[in-house]
Structure 1
Amino acid sequence: MAGKALTLTSSARAVFKHLAFEGASTRPQIGAALDLSRPTMSAAVTELEKLDLVKTIGVVSGTTGRKAAKYRVGRGAGHVIAVDAGSTHVRLRVSTLDRRLLLSRTYRLSENQVMLSEDISRAVAGEVAAALAETNEEWGPLRTFGIALPSRVVSSPGDVVSTGQNRIFSHFTPPEDVDILLENNVNCAAVAEHLHGAALGTSTFAYIQIGFKIGMGLMLSGHLIRGRNGAAGEIGHLPYPVGPSMQPIAGEVERYLGTEAFMARVQSNWNDGNTLAPGDTAQLLYLAADGNEEAIRHVARHAADIGAVVAACVSVVDPGLVVLGGGYGSSPLLAPRVQQVASQLSYPVEIVSSPLGSEATVLGIEKLAIDSSLAKLVG
């Protein structure tokens, strides 16, 4: 399916990459962006057309009345499958190398998964099988299969036993002859925020996910930081609790801040006799947005706890910008209080809510899968 790397002239390679990164463009637009002469552009397009790497999709009239052909990436470039193998949902996107969406699927797991599990692997197997059954020959060859995992991820020859990353293959067997790319889910979300979201144009920032679990993706000077053991950003393992006669417990801060424990506290300490305690965070946020004082109190209390963890991260890496994401964390109701507490406890930092919400992770692994495909296809 994936095929071998292609040998292209430098001008053809530049034109193809421009179309992949910038989307459909006219010949004059591409030539101006790449500073290519008309003969060079013509030769490059002809070279790419012979390989079905570009496709003419129409003709555009300019201001002077002259017409120009418009191109986009062709079927010969192929497509990728990106999967967010999450703790609560499995999300899947099939996309071209210029990020045109071909197919999208979402599956809700019957139970939330604390760790990467066989249930997640089964769900991924089912969703991928359904996607492959809908494959259209116009999509071209499948180049890369990217999977975002709720676990640490290391590359070979790293210790894949301790990360547990290969559990994804307990019930899921990827298609043969296709490159497989694994990445931590929160790292993927950070990539998406850098490309599409609140960190667009920002080279240094932290993405902090607050949902069923918590985690951080860290980008410094445009580089995603993974760490030697794939554990950079694993803020769920910050020492907690800390104090006299207290013994820190591994992963306890994640359990405390995660939405299950949070909602248990909300329900056991709900003091509004006129309104039933919310059953989940969506209901809690709805009540808070509607002005319910008890809901506002609980959201503010939790936001202060999140702010303390953000302050710890800011004290270590000073990212300047922190994007709050995840199913719960992306709510704009949290950001002001998190900002207040984090700034009081550490250094000045801008706190913003993710505009991508629950789609951030799958968009990030899609980006990484496309980048990998482009590198192997044309260098």
Structure 2
Amino acid sequence: MTRKPLTLTGSALAVLRALVERGPSTRPQLGQDLGLSRPTMSAAMAELMEAGLVEPIGSVQGGMGRRAVEYRVATHAGHVIAVDAGSTHIRLRLSTLDRRLLHASLHPLPNSQYSLTPQISSVVADAVAEALEKTEVDWGPLLAMVIAIPTRVVGPEGDTAATDQEVIFTNFTPPPQVDCTLVNNVNCAAVAEYHYGAARGHQTFAFLQVGVKIGLGLMLNGQILPGVNGAAGEIGHITFPFAPGLTPVPGEAERYIGTEAFMARVRADWPKGSGRPPADTYELLARAGEGDAAALRHVEGHAAEIGAVIAICVSVIDPGLVVLGGGYGASPLLRPKVEEVVRHLAFPAEITTSTLAAEATVLGAERLAVDRAVSVLLGLPA
């Protein structure tokens, strides 16, 4: 099921975008926020109702004891699918255009994937197939899909072979006639933090993800900076190691800071009198949180290394705010040492921790999918 592009007046489009952004609202609320008169607001709402884009959902108590009808984006107006094709899990959200969740799933990968692999593609295919099977007719058409992938992404005119982004399609084929977009996973997480998380109210900030891999999302004046080669924020490729007698290796900073190499160092350096080494970062952080001296030493040491990486970002970008995220990076145990190191090595920058945790990437992908869906619905440029 597909729609022909709709043509809306400017006021109706503004109301639709407001409902997409904020969820259920009354006409007086929307009129006040958008600066629309009562007649204009009434005409815009009637236009959207006739187009099948909004629906009333009841009434709420307003001022002066009056009740006002509350409206939302119609469920049957369409839906989107967002996928986080991560290194350890595949997360999927199927939602309405105002981000009401209709279906969600979590699919663990058999083992950690350092790069985008056919195995990730297979699990994405299974997750999307499951979502399509659960889709109900009254959810309307699938208008857009965004897949967040752990690699840089370029457009059709770029060198897609060099990015490995097409690996996602090894075992997965998007549904026909659906706008399917690939976006770097860290950029998606930055979008979510900007709209819903720790960076709300900040037009410029950096988001550093630390997990199996590391990556940086850069929001400048409210816009994600992708870079000419889709490589803006690929901080794992900074020159490393950089010292006399050492030859820098591409991607070595990411491998060194990433949790697999970090945990290998932890196991190799674990004191003999401190029991068995932690099995993974989750256990390491738990033991550090309980005051285990050996665990705390390793967590603080790694936080100092992460702080040094962030200091490079702050020295070059001067973002003012850095949000720490990712499966490991979002731990509040890292923040004090990271702040100390950044303050010592670079310029002033607020360091904070993600409030969205593991959901950041899929929520950002959902947000981008909704933006694309509205453009598809109205025949606007993406």
Relative to 1, partners in 2 of residues 1:141 and 1:39: Cα closer, same or farther, differing over 3 Å?
A: same
Indicate if the aligned counterparts of 1:272 and 1:294 stay in contact, CA closer than 8 A. no
Letter aligned with residue 159 of structure 2: D
How does 1:140-219 map onto structure 2 within 5 Å? 140-219=140-219
Does residue 372 (structure 1) correspond to residue 372 (structure 2)? The answer is: yes
Determine the structure 1 residue equivalent to 2:133: 133
> Superposition pairs for residues 224-303 of structure 1, below 5 Å?
224-271=224-271, 273-303=273-303
**Unaligned residue ranges in structure 1 (runs of 5+):** none
Residue 40, structure 1, aligned to residue 35, structure 2: no
Distance 2:68 2:351 in 1: 45
Aligned-partner residue type, residue 313 of structure 1: C
Per-residue CA shift, 1:317-367, capped at 9, x if unaligned? Answer: 111111110000000000110111111111111111111111111011111
1:347 aligned counterpart, secondary structure: coil
Q: Matched residue of 2:64: which SS?
A: coil
User: Which residue in the other structure is 2:52 paired with?
Assistant: 52
Amino acid aligned to 1:51:
A
Measured against aligned partners, the alpha-carbon deviations of 1:228-282 in whole angstroms (never above 9, x if no partner) come to: 1001111111111111111111111111111111111111111152432110001
Q: Distance in 2 between matches of 1:118 and 1:136?
A: 29
Matched, 1:328 2:328: yes
In the TM superposition, residue 376 of structure 1 has moved relative to its aligned partner by: 2.8
Give the whole-Å Cα distance in 2 for the aligned partners of 1:356 and 1:13.
Answer: 30
**Amino acid paired to 2:113:** Q
Kept after mapping to 1: 8 A contact 2:189/2:362: yes
2: CA distance, partners of 1:58 / 1:231: 47
Aligned-partner Cα distance in 1 for 2:284–2:255: 19
Report the TM-score when normalising by structure 1: 0.97
Aligned residues of 2:206 and 2:217 also touching (Cα < 8 A): yes
Q: Which secondary structure does the structure 1 equivalent of 2:63 belong to? A: coil
**Matched residue of 2:273: which SS?**
coil
User: 1:73 offset after TM fit, Å?
Assistant: 0.3
Residues matched between the structures, number: 379
Alignment partners' CA distance in 1, 2:75 and 2:30: 19
Corresponding position of 1:108: 108
- C-alpha distance after superposition, 1:182-235 (max 9, x if no partner): 100001111111011111110111100100000100111111111110011111
In 1, are the aligned partners of 2:274 and 2:294 still within 8 Å (CA)? no
CA contact (8 A) 1:52 1:75 kept: no
Quote how far apart the aligned CAs of 1:66 are: 2.1
Distance in 2 between residues matched to 1:204 and 1:10, nearest whole Å? 29
Query: Secondary structure at 1:348's aligned position in 2?
Result: coil
Alpha-carbon distance in 2 for matches of 1:55, 1:17:
14
Q: Which moved more, 1:31-40 or 1:297-306?
A: 31-40
Identity %: 57
